[in-house]
Structures are given as C-alpha cells and as structure tokens.
Structure 1
Amino acid sequence: EEEEFVDLSLGQVVVSRGSDLYLQMLLKDNFMHADLHPGNILVQDKQAQLDSMEGDTTPEDGQSTRVVLVDAGMVARLHGKEQSNFIGFLQAMGDGDGWRAGQCVLEFSDRQTCVKPSDRDAFCAAMVDIFAVYCRGYGTNVSVGQVLIEVLQCIRLHKVRIDVNYATLVINILCLHGLAEALQPDYNVLDAAKPLLSVYRPGPFWRFLIKRVIYPTAQTIKRRKDAIVYRKLRSEALKKRSGGGDRATPAEKLVAFAKGHVFPVVLTFMVAGVVTWSEGL
C-alpha cells in the first residue's frame, strides 16, 4: 500500500512542476519548447532532505523531484507583444471575459485576415457565447482543454489568422492539460496558475519587476497552494492504505497517455490545420 501513497505524491509534483515550467517559460523566459509532448518530459525522483520554506513544505514534501524537458532543439522565441497577447488571453479566461479573450485572439497575427469591424464583432460575440458555457473564470472548474477546442473551432469558423508561435503556446498548454487529466484529474490548470497570471502587467518596467521580484514571490505563493493540495492527497492516501484503488504508477499513466490519448494529437492537427490555412492566405 505504500506504493499507492508515493504515486499520489509523485503525480501531484509532476503536474504542479509542469505547470511551473510552462508559466516560467511564458512569463519569465520569453521562449517556449516547440516540441512538447509526454515523450519529451523526464521525471527525476530521488529521496532528499526535507525542503521547507518558513515552515511550509514544498509539494514534494521531503522528496527531491525534478521535471526536465528534453529534446530542446526546437524552441519558439516570444516577442513582447506575443507574450502580452497570450497572457492577456489566459487572464481573460481567468476572468471569464469572452469578449476580451476574442480581442486578444484577433491580435494573434500581424497579418490578420479578420479585419472588418462586423467580422471582428461577430467573432468576439461567438467567444462570449463559448465562455458563457465553458469558461466562467477562476474557481468554476474550467477545463482548459475543452475551452481551447471550442476556441480553435471558432477561429476556423470565422477565418481568424493565428501565427505559429501562438499555435506552439496552445499546443503546450494542451499537453499540460492532458498530463493533469492523466496523472491528477483534480488538478485545475487555470486555477493553479492564478497567482502567477494575476501579477503580470505589460511593459518593460513591469517585465523587469516581474522577473526579479514579482514572479519569484508569486511562484512561492503558488507552490504553497500546491503543498496544501499535496498534504490533502497525502492524508487521503493514508486513510485508504488498507483499501484498494488504482495501482497504476504515474510513469505507467504517462506512458498510457502518450500511447493511447488521441486528444492532444487531434488538437495538434487542428492547430496545424489552422496555421496552415493562415499561411496559405
């Protein structure tokens, strides 16, 4: 039964660390791994001394666990405008603001084809309808994957152009969402990202503060919240030690996700189709 307890903790760490990596690349580093999928995610787990921070344990709670991205031969460098637009889109998701999200998406290309005011308003109105059903904001159990599926379909329907870097950002967050569903279904990617997304402001001055001061502080807050979730899972695991349950390890779940989950593959081709259509215009 000890194996079940370790699996729960490791699954939580993999998902929370994966979320940290994505947000660090987006908010701080200004570049993205351009070929992210479960096969390019390596988990290193070994026993270590208890890592504490002012009395609050980190999510691994006594284990040293690292999530490493491999095969970094393809990366996407984000310009300031690209970073601001996509973060603005995620912030709009957190606020449940479909109109603002639509306006951000319309900025996903410098050569936008949806330019008529009537067409732009129609697209934003469609985004409002999508958000009314699938994305009501933080704390409403938003499924990021489902929202992005609907948004991509809306983009295709209204012939909105998006550039390759934005497609990379979308694919990466879909990969993260898929990992969360496979390893820790109760982990909500959008809610977990709130402490980091809420502090972002555009502009060079804010970018400097975010990298040096605000981001590290917000990351500490996020990790403490992750630690609370970890301790809850740990408590539940201890109560179930004498019972049954799903004995698949996180590694086995990850392999099964990579081999059998068609969701990211289908979405990858959807995004690729939108980008290809855009490039052909």
Structure 2
Amino acid sequence: MRRERARILLDALLTLGPTFIKLGQLLSTRPDVLPTEYIEELAELQDRVPPADWAEAQRVIEDELGPVDDVFDAFNRESISGASLGQVYTADVDDQQVAVKVRRPGIESLVEADLRAIRWSIPIVVRFVGQGQAFSLENLADEFAKTIREEMDYSREGRMLTEIRANFADEPDIVIPTVYEEYSSDRVLTMQYIEGTKISDVDTLERRGVDRSQVSETLERAYLQMIIEDGVFHADPHPGNLAVQDDGSIVFYDFGMSGRVDSFIQDKIVEFYVGVANQDIDAILDALIDMGTLSPEADRAVMADVMELAIQDARGENIETYRVQQIVGKVEDTIYEFPLRLPPNLALVLRVATVVEGVCVTLDPEFDFITVATDYLAEQGYREESIRQFAAGTAEEFQAAATSVLRVPPKLERALDKVEREDLYVRADLEDSNRVIDALARRVVLGLVLATSVPTTAFLYVTADVTAAAISGAFTAAVGAALYKTFRRRNGLQASPQFTRQNLRERDGDGDDGGTALARSGSQIEADDAGTATNGD
C-alpha cells in the first residue's frame, strides 16, 4: 500500500512541475519525513525536463552578457543538458571549450509561486502528523526554499565552486572546473569544460584500468575534508555530477547545491565518527542529541540497539535475522514517533553522506565506509584528541564522584529525618510532549457535552418553544462538529500535469541526468553516450 501511494506521490510531483520535482528529490533524502518505500520510489525521480527553446535561452544570455556571437568565439545552439532550473550549452572562449549554464527563462516567478503554495500548506499538513514529523516538515520547508533560491543564483554557485576549488588546489586527485567570471552573472555561469567518464559507468572504468576501490576512497576522503575541515562542501554528489579521468582523478560538476558547516556541527560530526570508529554507542547517541538529530527523551536502550545494528550493517558484518526482528519489533509500531529528526543545518550533510556511500558501494561492493573514515580521523589526529578529552573528562568525573561521596551521607540523614517526622513530599510532573492526554481530554469533554445537549434539545423541543429548541440544537450541532473534527482525516488533491512519467522516460535515451551536462572523453559530442558525465545543473 505504501509503495502504491509512493507512486501516486511521484506522479503528483511530476504533474506539479519543476519546483516540486526538486522537492521530491529533497524528500528522497529525508527518512525522518517519509517511510522507506517512499524514499526508494522518489530516489528514482530524475530531473529530466524538456529544454527551453533556444530563442528564450538566447534572450537570457544576451540580457546578461550581450550578443552571443560577440561574447563567445563559437556557441553550440543545441543544449547538451536540460533540467528544471537550467540548461547547459557548449561554447568556445579564447580557443578553450567551456560549458555555459543558463537559468531557465521565467523560472523565478514559477518557483516563488510554488514556494508560497508549499508554505501555506505546511500548517495544514502538520496537523495530521506526529510531533517529530511536524518538526522535520517545518524545517524541510525552510530548507527547501533556501536551497532552491541558492541553486538559481549562479553568482553564488560560482563563488562556492571557486572556494572549494582553492581548498583542493594541492590535491591532484580532485579536479574542479575553473569559473570564467567575465562571462558569468546571476543567470549565466561559464566554466571550464572537463572531460571524464561518469563515475557509475563501472564497465568503462574497468576497461580503462581505473582502480575503482581507490576512486571510492578518494571520493570519501574528499567529502570528509570538505565537511570536517573546510566547512564548505559540494552537496549534490549523485553519479551525474561526478566523473573519473583515466588517471583515477575525480571531476566534480554542478555546485548549485552546496552548503556550509559551522564549527560546532563540525566538532559534533567528528565526535560521531570517532564514536562509530570506537563502537562507543553512548558517544554516538550523545553526539546525535547535541546536534539536535535525536530527542533527549529518546529511549537510549532502543536507540543503542538500532545504532549497533546500523554499524554492523555498514561494516558488512553478518547479522542474525532473529536479532534484526527483535529490534525492528521495538520500533515498527512507533516508527512515525521515532525520535530521529533533521535540523536544517544537517539535512544537506546527511544527503552527502548517504549519496556518497551509495556511489562508493557502486564502484566497489566491498568498500568499507567506516574503515576509511576511521583511518582519515586517525591521520588528522582527531582520534588521539578524543582520547585526551576522554581522559580529562574521566578525571573530572572521578573528582566529582569523590566530592559526592562526602556530600551524600549528610543529605541522606536529613531525608531520613523528614521521613521519620512524616514531612517528606514527592512531586511528579506528567509530560505530554505529543499532547495525547490533551486531545483525549478534549474528546471526553466534547463527548459528555454532546451526550447532555442531545436530550436537552429534545426536552426543550417537547416542553418549550421552538426558538429555545433551535438554539439548543445549533449548540448541539456545533459540539458534534467539533468532536468530529478531532477524528477527521484529510482528502487528496488533483492537478493537471505539466510533466508526465512517460514524458520523462522518452528522454531517457536522449541524455544523462537532466541535472548534468555531458562530459565527453572524445572530440565528438553525442547526446546518447551513456558512459560520460558533465558540467551542469
């Protein structure tokens, strides 16, 4: 049933157009909002949309840079990639081949209208979900609006690309295109055209003798450096935005989706990875709570089992089916109230971690993500630092414990004296974070009022005048409606399609993922080359 509903949601997102296609892609990275079946279905949502007419794209270029033939030495009018927010062309500048990314004409007003619709609908949707999902949905709306606006700002993309490129200036295994600032603006981005083989084209990489295991390690180390050390990272590492050169170096494309990590989150991510490396479940849970991804009221015993199982699975260890069933049984009945959530500043980081791991496993099925991360942390000195911090923390705890030993006996004696005098009081506070008791009390009160007002109305109708009975009847109807509202369920919405699943499938043979421009390993550009990757949105 979930799978079928996920397909309906997928079709609805395609129907609603470019903004909602982007929303679907973002939802596919949010397991705190949607069940696994939805995540898997939406993960297939491709950003393949028919390109805009050249005449419209030409107006954008000329409004920003001037006449196309005057600005560029040569310009190929056929786009090599079309996406919901932009499309990519190839051109020549000073005898150098470049990729020119052009924002889709008129997309700004469409996106803003769609964002308003999403923002207005969130207060309605959150009334029908649990507190944890409501938290994630509200953050998702803020994050999505911020992300899609940033992705449409090509000036920002150029700055992020240049900054990340500088951070890897001394890394020959990481290749990032150069931005041609004099040929770029808010709506047009011109960058170096770099050839490469799409990172998921395993057969071609094998034929060219590329060490796929080494490529996987290089990719993970690059993202660990971006997130843990540099604080600025490329946030869209799907296979269409990554290519591999014959020497094993990795080419990064499309920096429209990129983000920053503040120093506090960096420290907590390090603590999380060190906890995973040491298999210290308590340290992992503490890091998740500090980052805001785990509720402090979470059942630590259950979460410890979940984390232990996740670590074993990530390491490829054999797990007893019976144990899996036990742990799943603990959480499956309350999965929507599960205390995991994603604050906005961590959503892109999670997207990077999950997508990068998927790419690495595609390259090398035996790839151990945790081992590489552990080695990286050890090389950078993070594990040694955590040991020193642990030793210092342990000394402080020992000192505090020794002090407590001296303070407890007098306090215990005073408490026993109060018991003896019958002067000991205990106060208990009932916490209802999900407002379950409040909702139940409201239903009980409304039910009692309704049960009283119905016979009262009947009595007034028989013994009094019609006016009094009508007033009582109206009151009874209002109470009944209020009671019904507490049990009400939502209905679906329908819209006429802008894009259809068939429309997108027809384009599957025409090119790569619409979010990328084709990078070619030869001099001839062919739109149906499945073994290539490129610059693009």
Distance 1:190 1:37, change over 3 A: same
Identity of aligned residues (%): 22
Counterparts of 1:7 and 1:142, CA distance in 2: 32
**Alpha carbons 1:155, 1:161 under 8 Å: kept:** no
Would you say 1:163 and 2:343 are equivalent positions?
Answer: yes
Would you say 1:133 and 2:133 are equivalent positions?
Answer: no
Residue by residue over 1:83-102, the C-alpha shift from the partner in whole angstroms, topping out at 9 and shown as x without a partner, is 11122112211222222211
Equivalent position amino acid for 2:366 in 1? D
Partner of 1:69: 252
**Alpha carbons 2:216, 2:360 under 8 Å: kept:** yes
Partner of 1:16: 217
Partner of 1:190: 370
Counterparts of 2:239 and 2:290, CA distance in 1: 30
For 1:49-88, list aligned pairs within 5 A.
Answer: 64-88=247-271
Distance 1:155 1:197, change over 3 A: farther
Partner of 2:100: none
Distance 1:84 1:30, change over 3 A: same
Equivalent position amino acid for 1:22 in 2? Y
Distance 1:156 1:22, change over 3 A: farther
Counterparts of 2:212 and 2:231, CA distance in 1: 27
Distance 1:106 1:161, change over 3 A: same
Residue by residue over 1:202-229, the C-alpha shift from the partner in whole angstroms, topping out at 9 and shown as x without a partner, is 99xxxxxxxxxxxxxxxxxxxxxxxxxx
SS at match of 1:186: coil
**Alpha carbons 1:89, 1:101 under 8 Å: kept:** yes
**Alpha carbons 2:221, 2:376 under 8 Å: kept:** no
Residue 184 of structure 1 deviates from its aligned partner by: 0.7
**Alpha carbons 2:232, 2:259 under 8 Å: kept:** yes
Residue by residue over 1:20-52, the C-alpha shift from the partner in whole angstroms, topping out at 9 and shown as x without a partner, is 21111122211222222111112222xxxxxxx
**Alpha carbons 2:210, 2:248 under 8 Å: kept:** no
- Bigger share in helix: 1
Would you say 1:102 and 2:278 are equivalent positions?
Answer: no
Counterparts of 1:113 and 1:195, CA distance in 2: 27
Partner of 2:295: 114
SS at match of 2:245: strand
For 1:225-264, list aligned pairs within 5 A.
Answer: none
Residue 131 of structure 1 deviates from its aligned partner by: 3.1
For 1:215-230, list aligned pairs within 5 A.
Answer: none
Residue by residue over 1:223-273, the C-alpha shift from the partner in whole angstroms, topping out at 9 and shown as x without a partner, is xxxxxxxxxxxxxxxxxxxxxxxxxxxx97999xxxxxxxxxxxxxxxxxx
SS at match of 1:106: helix
Residue 113 of structure 1 deviates from its aligned partner by: 8.5
**Alpha carbons 1:183, 1:254 under 8 Å: kept:** no
Would you say 1:176 and 2:356 are equivalent positions?
Answer: yes
Distance 1:252 1:191, change over 3 A: farther
Counterparts of 2:374 and 2:253, CA distance in 1: 27
SS at match of 2:367: coil
- Higher-Rg structure is 2
For 1:198-217, list aligned pairs within 5 A.
Answer: 198=378, 199-200=381-382
**Alpha carbons 1:34, 1:74 under 8 Å: kept:** yes
Distance 1:191 1:113, change over 3 A: closer
SS at match of 1:185: coil
Residue 142 of structure 1 deviates from its aligned partner by: 5.9
SS at match of 2:290: coil
Equivalent position amino acid for 2:369 in 1? V
Residue 132 of structure 1 deviates from its aligned partner by: 3.2
Residue by residue over 1:143-166, the C-alpha shift from the partner in whole angstroms, topping out at 9 and shown as x without a partner, is 9xxxxxx9xx99953334421232
SS at match of 1:181: helix
Partner of 2:229: 28
TM-score (norm 2): 0.28
Instruction: Please report the RMSD computed on the Cα atoms of aligned residues, expressed in angstroms.
Output: 3.7
Distance 1:5 1:181, change over 3 A: closer
Residue 65 of structure 1 deviates from its aligned partner by: 2.5
Distance 1:5 1:41, change over 3 A: closer
TM-score (norm 1): 0.51
Counterparts of 2:236 and 2:302, CA distance in 1: 30
Counterparts of 2:531 and 2:363, CA distance in 1: 7
Partner of 1:213: none
Distance 1:100 1:156, change over 3 A: farther
**Alpha carbons 1:96, 1:137 under 8 Å: kept:** no
Counterparts of 2:278 and 2:304, CA distance in 1: 12
